[in-house]
Structure 1
Amino acid sequence: MSETRPWLSILLPIYNVRPYLEACVASLLAQVDDGVELLLLDDCSTDGTDELMRDLASRHPGRLTLLFHAQNGGVSAARNSLLDAARGDWLWFVDPDDFLEPGAMLSLRQALQVPDVDLVLCDFRDVRAKPKLKHRFRNEHHKRTHIMAPRQPCRDSSLILEGMFRQGHLHLWTKVARRELWDGLRFPVGHCFEDVAVLPALLQRARCAYYIPEVWIGYRKRPGSILATGSAAKTDDMQDSLNGLPALLDAGPRPANEAARLAAGFFVAKMYIAAMRYAQQHADQPRLAHYTSQLERNLPCSVEQLLADWRRRGWWWRAIRLTHWIRVGRRAQAGLASAKPSAGTS
């Protein structure tokens, strides 16, 4: 690898992905040049992934930089360590169970020639071991991540945020950012949905975004992944990742406009409904109440504004569902309040 500063650092946070890692690394090595730094960090895997990493490094001398955590810290800690170690002018997180599609690196190099661009966005496709007919109808072969005009510089920070929230694809691996955008940003250690917690702040910092509507990432839908397995703790993390969103959209020299706030509200409500369904399935009244309180704090617009926007768009069923779950949550809040002992009673 060249001793000069890399133009790009590709960052792989790794934990127990031995069956997929070699294909991921091969897809990267097939496209990168000597100016690209490939950083692989193992977070104390238990399935032999660390041995495979060393084997890959020996087969490709000088092309992979290996890092190892002394103890497991979770994906956020791994991402933070990679940010601290990266030397490139541009940073790109790639999940080690996914892979880079042919031609992606060439398209990225071309996008980086556009003056003033500090954020590049791409599309992806879902990869399933056994795809079904319904998956084809969902256009899983090409998932669009934004609504901005393709291949045109976008300096409208509200539109950049609106498009991300409207499409709902808040994941790191479809965003390539100048390292300066990451200054002072780190992931919340010990929590899932770390990308949701950080990406709004990252995109708000972008001065000029550039969207390439091409599939650059093959995203594996696999059992055992973090998002494929549900739990109360993960559902809590999902909701907690949105804490502080209204203040973030108000911050900085360019506060988000109404369209961006409504798009963010759409995303917050979507996450809320998913959390409420989980809590209802487990008859978890405290969480039904808590998630509804969080909704009221995390919406960057009022519930009434959001519902009015949905009705204007003809999204009547979505409006009915949100109204239903808010009622469920408020009933849970009332039930818990009435169950508390009154002052002076034993």
Structure 2
Amino acid sequence: MPQTKPKISVLVPVYKAEATLDACVKSILAQTFPDFELLLVDDESPDACPALCDAWAQKDPRIRALHPAKTGPGPSGARNAGLDAARGDWITMVDSDDTVAPDLFATLLAGARQSGADLVICNSCRVLPDGTQQPHPVEQTFAADTLLDEEAFWDAFNTPWISQFTGTAHRLYAARLFEGVRYPVGMVHEDYYVLPDLIARCGKVQCLAYTGYYVLQHEGSITATARHEVRLAMTRGDIHRAEYFLSRRWYDRAEGALTDAADFLYRNKAAYDLRKPGHRAEFAAVKAELCRVYGALATQKESKSLGLRAAALRLGLPVFHAYTALLAARR
């Protein structure tokens, strides 16, 4: 007998999560909205997690354990394997060291149905290993339900709300948003990079003044152990976002994203340890991409002033920084 198509597909990449996976899965199975499938995607975890995934799949028919071949560092390959296997009309993602409130799925789906949004985001809350909750500052959370169109989303993106906008969890995606869109393999902060591709397909984004996702804070997270890779991934995300803005002819937004990327590279250059050949080559590749897109902005806008800034950037980050600082001082 064919399986009934679930309303929601829940994707959980699993890697070195022996201590947290059971709590994560139990919180998902405790949902008040039961019409979902849970895909536990083993990211070739070197511990007992593959067996734990299989054991959970035996306990509940809604759970499937996937064991795809690993395609690179980070969870991108696992997320993509989950997307390929997902059957639901909606997609949500949960990290294997986090937990969710019992009414999370019901609340997110109700928000989508009431607003007509293709993406629904709620607030998250940090949790220490001892269980102590550390809510985000009030200004970084959604204090009221807010419906955003595409342009309003990017206007809000530059506010303190950014801590809720970035990431893959505490949100519900219409499955169609991922048609032709997959996470870049081998890149940390892959969620930041792919965000423009998803927002470009959204009619509306609903932000809920509701907290239903709990993020465990610990030293083993990617952001705590891959500082160099995280910095360059965020810069790549800014450049990709600028290209998306260019495709919409939103020149001021594109310039802002590229200036942020250039300033970030300049201010953090010392953190990249360019004595290492791999770091040096990666840094050079990101800077070259930044120069290419900045030049495209100047050409597309037919702006001489932007052309001069693009030329300064090609000469080097210190030159670009000094030139833009001089222009700002003259205003």
Question: In the alignment, does 2:279 pair up with 1:279?
Answer: no
Paired residue secondary structure (1:5): coil
In structure 2, relative to structure 1, the CA distance for the partners of 1:22 and 1:285 (3 Å cut) is closer
Whole-angstrom CA distance in 1 between matches of 2:91 and 2:260: 26
Whole-angstrom CA distance in 1 between matches of 2:117 and 2:126: 27
Residue of structure 2 in register with 1:125 after alignment: 125
Give the one of 221, 225, 232 matched to 1:229: 225
When normalised by structure 1's length, the TM-score is: 0.72
In structure 2, relative to structure 1, the CA distance for the partners of 1:286 and 1:45 (3 Å cut) is closer
Residue correspondences, number? 298
Task: Show CA shifts across 1:261-294 (max 9, x none).
Answer: 5764586467536742412697987777766555
Residue of structure 1 in register with 2:99 after alignment: 99
Whole-angstrom CA distance in 2 between matches of 1:128 and 1:230: 20
Residue of structure 2 in register with 1:218 after alignment: 214
Whole-angstrom CA distance in 1 between matches of 2:131 and 2:28: 25
Question: In the alignment, does 2:192 pair up with 1:196?
Answer: yes
Task: Show CA shifts across 1:96-133 (max 9, x none).
Answer: 1111124322321321222531111111111122699x
Letter in 2 for 1:222: H
Residue of structure 1 in register with 2:42 after alignment: 42
Whole-angstrom CA distance in 1 between matches of 2:177 and 2:43: 25
Question: In the alignment, does 2:243 pair up with 1:247?
Answer: yes
Give the superposition deviation at 1:242: 3.6
Task: Show CA shifts across 1:170-200 (max 9, x none).
Answer: 2111331111111111111122221111012
Task: Show CA shifts across 1:145-178 (max 9, x none).
Answer: 66xx8424323x1111232343333211133111
Paired residue secondary structure (1:6): coil
Whole-angstrom CA distance in 2 between matches of 1:100 and 1:56: 17
Give the conservation status (yes or no) of the 8 Å contact 1:15–1:42: yes
Paired residue secondary structure (2:83): helix
Residue of structure 1 in register with 2:308 after alignment: none
Residue of structure 2 in register with 1:187 after alignment: 183
Whole-angstrom CA distance in 2 between matches of 1:101 and 1:279: 39
Give matches, 1:63-102, under 5 Å: 63-71=62-70, 73-74=72-73, 75-102=75-102
Give the conservation status (yes or no) of the 8 Å contact 1:161–1:204: no
In structure 2, relative to structure 1, the CA distance for the partners of 1:164 and 1:224 (3 Å cut) is same
Letter in 2 for 1:23: A
Residue of structure 1 in register with 2:318 after alignment: 327
In structure 2, relative to structure 1, the CA distance for the partners of 1:86 and 1:32 (3 Å cut) is farther
Letter in 2 for 1:68: H
Letter in 2 for 1:327: P
Give the conservation status (yes or no) of the 8 Å contact 1:13–1:41: yes
In structure 2, relative to structure 1, the CA distance for the partners of 1:263 and 1:329 (3 Å cut) is closer
Paired residue secondary structure (1:40): strand
Give the one of 161, 173, 176 matched to 2:172: 176
Whole-angstrom CA distance in 2 between matches of 1:5 and 1:63: 11
Give the conservation status (yes or no) of the 8 Å contact 2:125–2:211: yes
Whole-angstrom CA distance in 2 between matches of 1:202 and 1:150: 23
Give the superposition deviation at 1:213: 2.0
Deviates most, 93-102 or 104-113: 104-113
Give the conservation status (yes or no) of the 8 Å contact 1:238–1:271: no
In structure 2, relative to structure 1, the CA distance for the partners of 1:215 and 1:276 (3 Å cut) is farther
Letter in 2 for 1:171: G
Letter in 2 for 1:220: L
Unaligned runs of 5+ in 1: 303-324, 332-346
Give the conservation status (yes or no) of the 8 Å contact 2:41–2:82: yes
In structure 2, relative to structure 1, the CA distance for the partners of 1:31 and 1:142 (3 Å cut) is farther
Give the conservation status (yes or no) of the 8 Å contact 2:239–2:257: no
Whole-angstrom CA distance in 2 between matches of 1:272 and 1:211: 31
Unaligned runs of 5+ in 2: 299-315, 323-331
Whole-angstrom CA distance in 2 between matches of 1:161 and 1:224: 31
Paired residue secondary structure (1:65): strand
Whole-angstrom CA distance in 2 between matches of 1:226 and 1:274: 22
Residue of structure 1 in register with 2:153 after alignment: 160
